[in-house]
Amino acid sequence: MILATQGNALQNLTKAATSSSGGVNIPCGQLSEALVSELLPQYYSMVKAGKVYTLAAAGITPSSFVGGAAGTPIFGLYNPSNSNVDMVILQARLAIRTTGTAAVATDFNFWSVAQGGTSPTGTQTQPKNMYTQVLSGSVSYAMVGVVNTGALASTLLVPSVSVGLTAATAITDVGVFVDDVKGIIIVSPGSYIAFAQSVPTTGGSFDASLTWAEVPV
């Protein structure tokens, strides 16, 4: 049996009634527009469905990466051309343990290229499923802190986070940055992206993660 849905205006927002047709009335706004539900956290449904994955790296001093072929970004992510899913970037996180001992300004950016049907062959890391906490299930070819062998030269997609140290002295320079991408970056089948630091630091130490959903196309 197919249940019909019908909107309730704002004055009936506190109570969802069952319609005479057997459907369920959905609470709506003054103009019968759909309202955003906050009964569950934002990504709960996708995580619960097992569609969300993450890569993470701890205590790293990243190499410089500005889009060259087969470079060494923090994260390299390839979506196979036959995957039948879009990899929708949800969030990037960067935790600064220290920016090091040299005066330097650096940024962390997303780079991309239409890789096509030829997969990179750098050392692969299995992403972790955010619901099961198991290192399996992702369609991606993912690399963490290794040479992305076979990856084509990429171009800057969007900047993410900028940090810097104004003096060449060892100081405590800590913080956590969250780039709430919210799906504006989509790695379509056959595409490759890298999340990387543009200018290396002297003795800098960072934690980083990249989280995405794998949505059937």
- Euclidean distance between the first and final Cα of the chain, in Å? 27
Residue 131 has pLDDT above 80, yes or no: yes
Residues 157 and 140 in one domain: yes
Q: Which domain holds residue 150?
A: 44-216
Write the pLDDT tens digit of every residue in 180-198: 999 999 999 999 999 999 9
pLDDT above 70: residue 24:
no
Vertex 92: Cα angle to 157 and 199 (nearest 5) = 60
pLDDT tens track for 200-210: 888 889 999 99
Instruction: For residues 87 and 104, give the distance between their C-alpha atoms in angstroms, rounded to a whole number.
Output: 33
179, 161 Cβ separation under 8 angstroms: yes
Q: What pLDDT sits at residue 16?
A: 44
Residue 18 has a pLDDT of 47
Residues 126, 131, 133, 136, CA torsion sign: negative
The reported pLDDT for the residue numbered 40 is: 83
Provide the pairing of β-strand 75-78 with 128-129: unpaired
Q: What is the DSSP letter of 168?
A: S
Q: What is the pLDDT of residue 105?
A: 82
* Confidence check: pLDDT of 55 > 90: yes
Range in 30-44, 57-71, 108-122, 195-209 the model is least confident about = 30-44
99 shares a domain with 16:
no
**Of 80, 152, 159, which Cα lies nearest the Cα of 113?**
152
Residues 31 and 92 in one domain: no
The Cα–Cα gap between 14 and 30 comes to 13
Type of residue numbered 178: V
Share of the chain above pLDDT 70, in %: 84
Pair 18, 98 in one domain: no
Q: How confident is the model at residue 5 (pLDDT cuts 50, 70, 90)?
A: very low
Residue 43 pLDDT > 60, yes or no?
yes
Q: What is the pLDDT of residue 169?
A: 61
Tell whether 88 and 171 lie within a shared domain: yes
- The predicted model scores a pTM of 0.83
Same domain, 104 and 209: yes
Query: What kind and span of H or E run contains 48?
Result: helix 44-48
pLDDT grade, residue 8 (50/70/90)?
very low
Q: What element of type H or E holds 111?
A: strand 104-114
Same structural domain, 103 and 193: yes
My answer on whether 212 and 121 are in the same domain is yes
Beta strand pairing call for 205-216 and 52-60: antiparallel
Residues 6 or more apart from 204 whose CB is under 8 A from it? 61, 62, 96, 97, 98, 99, 100
Do 160 and 144 fall within a single domain?
Answer: yes
118 and 208 together in one domain:
yes
Q: Are residues 105 and 28 both part of a single domain?
A: no
Give me the pLDDT at residue 13, please. Answer: 40
Beta-carbon contacts of 45 under 8 Å, excluding residues fewer than 6 positions away, are: none
**Residue 14 neighbours by CB distance under 10 Å:** 8
Question: Which residues fall within 8 angstroms of residue 20, CB to CB, at 6 or more apart?
Answer: none
Q: How many domains does the chain have?
A: 2
The pLDDT assigned to 36 comes to 76
What is the pLDDT at residue 23? 59
Domain shared by 92 and 67, yes or no: yes
